[in-house]
Structure 1
């Protein structure tokens, strides 16, 4: 139920903002708007405003539209001052562009609110155990390496590292990853991401042999961790002889072994130490589990005021646009398989998962999808806003309208392309569900 609700809310918000942009531009240029619809099909809710616009929410939440008075659809509209197709080309170009622009504005607002409210936090990109016989091992990565840059891009944290990897997916040249090793020296590791490029839906860290370091934060006095000799800053590499690949795995193991002695391998100041810890048995709400009394380390956090959050929101926006454009370019050039296209089922699942995590996660997804909708609609493909913008610019250069026959033919080609990609995305969704 949460998945369905999150999907519907997501589509309604990003589509409504998109169409609102078109609507406001039309009203600004004196165009008579007949219908403003979120969704298609049977009307669920509707009303007509004083200017004669029918506002409606329809049953199929897979898009929306704003319908102006247009002589191309209604010959009786010719000569009406509120008719759309007779407006100057520059006004029509602005009207078509207003939809994607409003998607971008929505994303910027969301990022601004998130940064001003929650700040920016994450886990520093420190390498834990390196899996043998993997690209990471071949590149020379060592436990304790702290990733500082990819190429010329300085970064901090796993999220920007993932984004940089996406920008380079499908490339044959290895990524030049600058790290600071445990001795404080800077080194450049040449990471071949070809194996992940073949299966970009897999976890890049797992596929390439990189693991997030489990770093000990604050240690409670007189706790199991303190008695075992754990200190703040220790890097946990092994538990009972097995590598510790992330904090969740570490926490699960500790909670599942209350009262049992566990052998640990930790790195401290570049030296490996063998320790033993006995998790204390704790009972809460009828459940008994192990606890050793440590907090997660290796975290960073930045706080922003309402004003200082603005440029950082812009940085986040630009970062996501770059990722989306790079992904689209790689789909077109074949560096990224079309099997990776996701449709409404994928969107619904991701929306539901984000909503379950919390409001901040859901809003971040909403911003990303809004940017995606805006970028895709600006592609110069007939039937999309970008196609009409392209034709409008040609008309402005020529000084006269394009032939109606050409526009109809282009519209047919554009419709075929859009429907084909939609069907492919839905097919991919179904394959993922039943494979």
Structure 2
């Protein structure tokens, strides 16, 4: 838990510092006097003042930051420095200063992706282990043993690339085109899967699973990894490393056998046969009853599986040379910006459920999980969140950078700034919108706990 919080705070600090530094750097380059550069809000934990009079602050509440510039609308400005006031600058200059924050986030994403693509991105081959009965994938003719090589004409080499290509189609109607081949063949066959408002309004699940594609996995032994505190397994005394041999006398050959047996017994008391260290023992466990979204009740025990390493022939590392990695980093950032904008559009028109909106709790959990998965996973997460922050700040909502740019556009067209009372109304409206979004995101976070 502590590690999760620390990685969350580290992620926030990096993203906020980069965003605010964009505003700060461009403001100074354009001759605007910067009064304060703050990471966080509230009471200052650390501060110093440089030779130009700028105050640098590290504040107690690390949920944002700001750059405060000299501005006649906020304070009385001496005539000898009035030319350095933000409000005195031409519209193009103010627009560049505002735009610099989101652009800094995009540049950070390019830099991080560049490092990642040079280092190499580990992944797993998108080999099909099975197709679900009467699923869209099975009806289209996809087979177990095939490997997906393209989605909608886009070449894919790993499961994450397949999933990303499929996520782009959420809410769409038409056909999803999948190219797949058997390992023994160099020729791929093309399969067309008709969709109608695919997954529209639903909470997102693994997209390949929604088509009925089950990736190949080796048989996982039913070895306990983590035991969740307060859950039935913990109360019965199960430990990490326990191997489940049988449930109610039925032999358990792998993890899926254990999942099926436990899911089929909601609320029941079962007898587990375990191997622990060199010996065997039996433990009675009273399962919890958990209701799924479809209303069906399943048993829950509160353990996770110890995941074995994938065979070498299923692993793939996507690595590029320095120049190709830079081009790929720029391309990835542009594609993710477009994907984020398209997702926001689909959410506004109801093609993507607002249940998918995440707040700080979910972000913290993902930050911790990605960090524990290795540096490359964490850097990919950092780049994605940096892009999201940049895009969100460009939305035309007052109090965000995009709202300020919209107001400058109005000023450019009308030839004068909006009246103070109108600006105040816009800011109050924008604050209500932001608070509403945060409340919804937090609600989604806690409903997932």
Q: Same fold (TM over 0.5)?
A: yes
Q: Which residue of 2 aligns with 1:145?
A: 146
CA contact (8 A) 1:69 1:77 kept: no
**Once the 2 structures are TM-superposed, how far is the Cα of residue 2 of structure 1 from its aligned partner?**
0.6
Q: Would you say 1:340 and 2:356 are equivalent positions?
A: yes
Match of 2:339, SS state, is: helix
CA contact (8 A) 1:90 1:393 kept: no
Match of 1:180, SS state, is: strand
Q: Which residue of 2 aligns with 1:7?
A: 8
How far apart are the structure 2 equivalents of 1:90 and 1:321?
24
The two structures have a TM-score, normalised by structure 2, of 0.76
> Which residues of structure 2 form unaligned runs of 5+?
224-240, 246-250, 255-276, 281-307
Q: Which residue of 2 aligns with 1:190?
A: 193
**Once the 2 structures are TM-superposed, how far is the Cα of residue 430 of structure 1 from its aligned partner?**
2.0
Q: 1:369 to 1:83 in 2, by over 3 A?
A: same
Deviations 1:322-346 (A, max 9, x none): 3212211111111112122111111
Q: Would you say 1:323 and 2:322 are equivalent positions?
A: no
RMSD: 3.2
Equivalenced residues, count: 377
Q: Would you say 1:306 and 2:322 are equivalent positions?
A: yes
1:373 is matched with which residue: 378, 389, 394? Answer: 389
Match of 2:311, SS state, is: strand
How far apart are the structure 1 equivalents of 2:244 and 2:313?
22
Match of 1:36, SS state, is: strand
How far apart are the structure 2 equivalents of 1:120 and 1:152?
22
Q: 1:47 to 1:286 in 2, by over 3 A?
A: farther
How far apart are the structure 1 equivalents of 2:210 and 2:331?
29
Q: Which residue of 2 aligns with 1:47?
A: 48
**Once the 2 structures are TM-superposed, how far is the Cα of residue 29 of structure 1 from its aligned partner?**
1.7
**Once the 2 structures are TM-superposed, how far is the Cα of residue 407 of structure 1 from its aligned partner?**
2.4
**Once the 2 structures are TM-superposed, how far is the Cα of residue 372 of structure 1 from its aligned partner?**
0.5
Match of 1:129, SS state, is: strand
Q: Which residue of 1 aligns with 2:209?
A: 206
CA contact (8 A) 1:196 1:208 kept: no
How far apart are the structure 2 equivalents of 1:198 and 1:145?
31
Please identify, of 56-65 and 179-188, the stretch whose mean Cα deviation from structure 2 is larger.
Answer: 179-188
Match of 1:75, SS state, is: coil
**Once the 2 structures are TM-superposed, how far is the Cα of residue 293 of structure 1 from its aligned partner?**
11
Q: Which residue of 2 aligns with 1:87?
A: 89
How far apart are the structure 2 equivalents of 1:333 and 1:71?
41
Match of 1:297, SS state, is: helix
Please identify, of 173-182 and 1-10, the stretch whose mean Cα deviation from structure 2 is larger.
Answer: 173-182
CA contact (8 A) 1:70 1:77 kept: no
Q: Which residue of 1 aligns with 2:30?
A: 29
Alignment of 1:68-79 (within 5 A): 68-76=69-77
Alignment of 1:175-254 (within 5 A): 175-181=176-182, 184-190=187-193, 192=195, 196-213=199-216, 246-247=217-218, 250-252=219-221
Q: 1:5 to 1:286 in 2, by over 3 A?
A: farther
CA contact (8 A) 2:140 2:191 kept: no
**Once the 2 structures are TM-superposed, how far is the Cα of residue 181 of structure 1 from its aligned partner?**
4.8
> Which residues of structure 1 form unaligned runs of 5+?
214-245, 264-284
Alignment of 1:341-356 (within 5 A): 341-356=357-372
Alignment of 1:91-106 (within 5 A): 91-106=93-108
How far apart are the structure 2 equivalents of 1:107 and 1:348?
19
CA contact (8 A) 1:135 1:193 kept: no
CA contact (8 A) 2:141 2:191 kept: no
**Once the 2 structures are TM-superposed, how far is the Cα of residue 392 of structure 1 from its aligned partner?**
1.8
How far apart are the structure 1 equivalents of 2:279 and 2:67?
55
Q: 1:136 to 1:77 in 2, by over 3 A?
A: farther
**Once the 2 structures are TM-superposed, how far is the Cα of residue 32 of structure 1 from its aligned partner?**
1.6
The two structures have a TM-score, normalised by structure 1, of 0.78
CA contact (8 A) 1:7 1:352 kept: yes
How far apart are the structure 1 equivalents of 2:196 and 2:316?
27
Match of 1:252, SS state, is: coil
2:402 is matched with which residue: 372, 380, 386? Answer: 386
Deviations 1:141-183 (A, max 9, x none): 2112322322233332211211122111122334222323566
How far apart are the structure 2 equivalents of 1:13 and 1:286?
48
Q: 1:351 to 1:120 in 2, by over 3 A?
A: closer
Deviations 1:366-399 (A, max 9, x none): 1111110001111122111111112223333444
How far apart are the structure 1 equivalents of 2:113 and 2:396?
27
CA contact (8 A) 1:29 1:91 kept: yes
